[in-house]
Amino acid sequence: MAGEGTGAVGRVALIWDEAVASYDFGSGHPLAPIRVELTVDLIRRTGLVGNGVDEVRPPEFHEVDLLRLHRDDFVDTVRRLSNDPTARASSRYGLGAGDTPAFPGMHPASLLVCGGTREAARQVWEGEADHAFHPSGGLHHAMPDHAAGFCIYNDPALAIDWLLEAGAERVCYVDVDVHHGDGVELMFRDDPRVLTISLHESGRYLFPGTGDVTDIGGEGALGSAANLPFAPGTYGELWLSSFDEVVDPLIRAFAPEILITQLGCDTHVNDPLAHLALTVDDMGTIYSRLHRLAHEVCDGRWVATGGGGYRLVEVVPRVWTMAFAEMTGRTLPVETPMGWQELVVARTGANPPRSFHEDPVTLSPAMREQAREAAHSSVSAFRSLVLPHHGVR
């Protein structure tokens, strides 16, 4: 169970502002703000806040900082459509019918997301907190010149940029979302100070279609990008063993000063937008691995964001509460609190999960074998293409 692997820690920050619920693409869109609202409520009701664990409201995020990574014509377009979502805009900006439609107030809402992740990074870098979690962050698909995949501005990349300006010399970004962390990778693929690692379902089957294991960074920074793609049906034991074989030694060899993680939970077996086969218990184990690495490699400096995850009630709140419990070193109860279950019914009408645990996944032998073969191939290529750039043989 979350919180059992690393022991007590110092101060932990939960970055939260209720106004972030205004980052809302509208009724029926998969990225519904209720998933984060239910997460924060569950964190509170399980007693994780208090006694050195504080809620922190993010400060204002200014456009001058946004423009360090995003083009001014794109930002101007977001601002204009934020005031009038029906206005015309070139399709090249990625804001229209489909995944990332314009919505009223999207510019200030997106700035608030960016401010939250930067504050999480600042809290940890400046020693105000050992760990910080911003569940509304993790919009990793946003590009310098366009929105994509539900993401308007790239908050993890902006937080990393702030860290570099603040003096960080080695930053490691680990993305466990089922989708390739393409936007963050692109923004730092030529910077040897930043190592981006993405473990995701192969782009052969899933958006954004990138993240092949052969993608290892720009010519001046080979090895600065690392990708471990998986086949549909990849289950928790296989995902974790692959992580242990090549990602763990890579992070240790790079020796980052701070660990930034995107904890998308759309790797879940029942997620409607993807095809991997992890459980909430598997994800709790992943967070334990990341927590251990933060302490053993980065002097405990760990920043986490949310990300994808589209089982809004059954998965996201439980999984991210497990992540926060891991950060705090506290143990969760076996059952979810009755008050939270009642809130779920009142807000969504759905049947709430009653336990933090989940039964193992049953897969056909053929699917398990296909997933094993694909993982073995990815791990082998990762070992030969990425690890030598970091002195790992």
- Catalytic positions, please? 141
Q: Helices 155-165 and 106-125, interaxial angle, to 10°?
A: 40
The DSSP-derived string for 252-301 is: HHH--SEEEEE---TTBTT-TT---BB-HHHHHHHHHHHHHHHHHHSTT-
Q: How much of the chain is in helix, strand and coil states, percent to nearest 5? A: 40, 10, 45
Q: Helices 338-348 and 34-45, interaxial angle, to 10°?
A: 160
Report d(CA 151, CA 33) in Å as an integer. 13
Report d(CA 244, CA 289) in Å as an integer. 9
Report d(CA 70, CA 56) in Å as an integer. 26
Report d(CA 183, CA 189) in Å as an integer. 10
- What's the token pair of residue 262? 């995107």
